[in-house]
């Protein structure tokens, strides 16, 4: 519980489960980037940005906020590399930074989503009943994002890592600095809450979405 709270306030740094003993492929570039070599940094950036950006987009549910968050993670990377001891893969380390720095961006995204939701209420039914499957899919994703807003950040991150990104609970635990069992527990509670929330979000229009989707 204390770890959960510390994680939420960004004071808990992940201690990866099963720290790696051997050298990772990123090791050399990491040490060069940590020394300030621009080429090494750009190389790492080009390799990992897409994954960080995608995870940020799924975690925040907002492409603009995701871009800002990914930008922030890589801006912080040179300093963060100074603390990186190779306990986990650089990818997991970057995603853990993303989760820690997501709180502010998540609040902004939630505010933006709430405002958009109010503004779009009038056309909601039209969109939901649209014949276009792509529109319906986007609408369903948007609804899940709104439902995710009801979750605490730790549960949200666990759900996105395990269910949306289909990572194992062990890998998610490495990113979140938690045990796999804790991650699974969070995912379980997150799914229960999300099912309730999705059912509350105008069932009629959701039925329309499902009909189009099927």
Partner 1 sequence: MSLDLLERATRALRETTDASDAAALDRVLERIERPKPSRGLSMRHVRIVAWTLASSLLGVGAWANVTGRVSWFVPEPARAPEPAAAAPPAAPAPRERARRRAPAPAGLEQPEVVDEPAPPELAPEVVPPAPVPDPAPSEPRRDTPKRVAPVAPSATREARPPARLAPPAPDADSLYRAAHDAHFARADYAEALALWDRYLAAAEPGQRWTIEARYNRGIALYRLGKNDAAREALEPFARGEYGSYRRSDARRLLDALPAPSQPARALPSAD
Residues that bind partner 1 (CB under 8 A): 42, 45-46, 49-51, 53-54, 57-58, 61, 63, 66-67, 70-71, 74-75, 137-138, 140-141, 143-145, 147, 163-166, 191, 194-195, 198-199, 206, 210, 213-214
Write b or e for each residue in 107-118: b if 16 or more Cβ atoms lie within 10 A of its Cβ, otherwise e.
ebbbeebeeeee
Question: DSSP state, 16?
Answer: -
Nearest approach in angstroms of CB 180 to partner 1 is 20
Least Cβ distance, residue 68 to partner 1 (angstroms): 9
Smallest distance, partner 1 to C-beta of residue 190, A = 10
Neighbouring residues of 186: CB distance < 8 A, sequence distance ≥ 6: 154, 155, 158, 159, 178
Burial of 181 from C-beta contacts in 10 A (0-12 / 13-18 / 19+): exposed
Shortest approach of partner 1 to residue 112 CB, angstroms? 16
User: In the complex with partner 1, which residue's Cβ is closer, 17 or 201?
Assistant: 201
Closer of 166 and 204 to partner 1 (Cβ) = 166
In angstroms, what is the minimal distance from the CB of 87 to partner 1? 25
Judged by beta carbon, residue 67 or residue 124, the one nearer partner 1 is 67
In the complex with partner 1, which residue's Cβ is closer, 8 or 51? 51
Residues 185-193: contacts with CB under 8 Å, at least 24 apart:
186/154, 186/155, 186/158, 186/159, 187/155, 187/158, 187/159, 187/162, 187/163, 189/155, 190/151, 190/155, 190/156, 190/158, 190/159, 191/159, 191/163, 193/147, 193/150, 193/151, 193/155
User: Closest separation between CB of residue 137 and partner 1, Å?
Assistant: 4
Nearer of residues 27 and 165 to partner 1, judged by Cβ: 165
Q: What is the dihedral of CA 47, 52, 53, 58, to 10 degrees?
A: 140
**CB-nearer residue toward partner 1: 20 or 45:** 45
């Amino acid at each position: 519980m204390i770890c959960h709270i510390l994680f939420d306030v960004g004071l808990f740094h992940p201690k990866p489960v099963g720290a790696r003993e051997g050298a990772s492929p990123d090791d050399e570039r990491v040490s060069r980037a940590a020394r300030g070599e621009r080429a090494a940094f750009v190389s790492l950036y080009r390799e990992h940005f897409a994954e960080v950006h995608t995870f940020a987009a799924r975690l925040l549910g907002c492409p603009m906020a995701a871009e800002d968050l990914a930008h922030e993670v890589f801006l912080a990377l040179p300093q963060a590399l100074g603390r990186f001891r190779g306990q986990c893969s650089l990818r997991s380390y970057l995603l853990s930074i993303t989760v820690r720095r997501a709180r502010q961006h998540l609040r902004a995204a939630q505010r933006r989503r709430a405002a958009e939701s109010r503004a779009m209420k009038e056309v909601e039914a039209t969109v939901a009943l649209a014949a276009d499957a792509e529109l319906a899919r986007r609408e369903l994703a948007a609804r899940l994002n709104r439902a995710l807003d009801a979750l605490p950040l730790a549960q949200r991150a666990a759900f996105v890592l395990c269910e949306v990104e289909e990572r194992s609970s062990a890998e998610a635990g490495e990113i979140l600095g938690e045990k796999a069992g804790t991650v699974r527990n969070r995912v379980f509670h997150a799914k229960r809450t999300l099912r309730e929330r999705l059912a509350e979000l105008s069932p009629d229009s959701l039925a329309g979405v499902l009909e189009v989707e099927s």
